[in-house]
Amino acid sequence: MSAIRWLAAGTDYDSFPPPDTALDEPNGLLAAGGDLSPERLLIAYRSGIFPWYERGQPILWWSPDPRAVLLPGELRVSRSLRRTVRRGTFRITADTAFERVIRGCAGPRSYGTATWITKEMAAAYIELHRRGWAHSFEAWAGDELAGGLYGVAIGRVFFGESMFSRATDASKAAFVSAVRYLESRAFELIDCQVASAHMRSLGATDMPRHRFLARLEALCDAPRPAASWTCDHMGSSP
């Protein structure tokens, strides 16, 4: 931890070091400490930085190189997923159950019991949602929440945070609908943070950090969209 900057309590919200000073190993670790106030989080996202840490650790801030991103027009939908979406297997909504989506994402996974979404982290994003910056997409099977995802929208960039699924393809169906929704509203970039096989199967690719930061500078100053996406969200077929 000695090689990264410690953000003491009470430091200015924009006191992050330059992203290009992040460590190579672990890839992207930039700073520690600070807080999860809405003001600090919004500056972090605009700067290409996001928090990720496990229970018992200090807040850790990251800016990996390369950055996993998805351009909305490059969404990849498999045949089976396309059938699921077209059949309307899941009813997709937006901003109708943000706190439940957060709880779903914080729940245990098949590959382990640890979660990085602590109570502190959940509270921070619930406050961002209350202020109109964080949004969720939900996949429903009848009256049951089968899956969903959430993230932060700034300008024409959607910073994806996490997703969960309790039924096959539920989170993927929500993601497909989310991408179509974002594309229809002129969003140009979806931040996926770090590449995974799951996100690559949906079309995510790597972008060098310097290029990603340049894109943020151009896109994050765009007008802020409507605070709630509930009323005007309509699921669409790929």
Per-residue 3-state assignment (H helix, E strand, C coil) for 154-179 = ECCEEEEEEEEECCCCHHHHHHHHHH
Give me the average pLDDT of each 10-residue run along the chain (238 residues): 77 88 97 94 97 93 98 96 94 96 84 69 96 95 97 96 96 96 95 93 97 97 70 49
DSSP-derived secondary structure letter, 88: T
- pTM value? 0.92
- Strand segments, DSSP code E, in the chain are 5-7, 29-33, 50-51, 60-62, 67-70, 91-94, 134-141, 144-154, 157-165, 189-193, 205-207
Give backbone dihedrals phi and psi of 65, rounded to 5 degrees, phi first: -135, 115
pLDDT of 238 reads 40
**Bridge-based pairing state of the strands 189-193 and 157-165:** parallel
Domains of the chain: residue spans and CATH: 5-64 (3.30.70.3550), 68-219 (3.40.630.70)
**Termini Cα distance of the chain:** 45
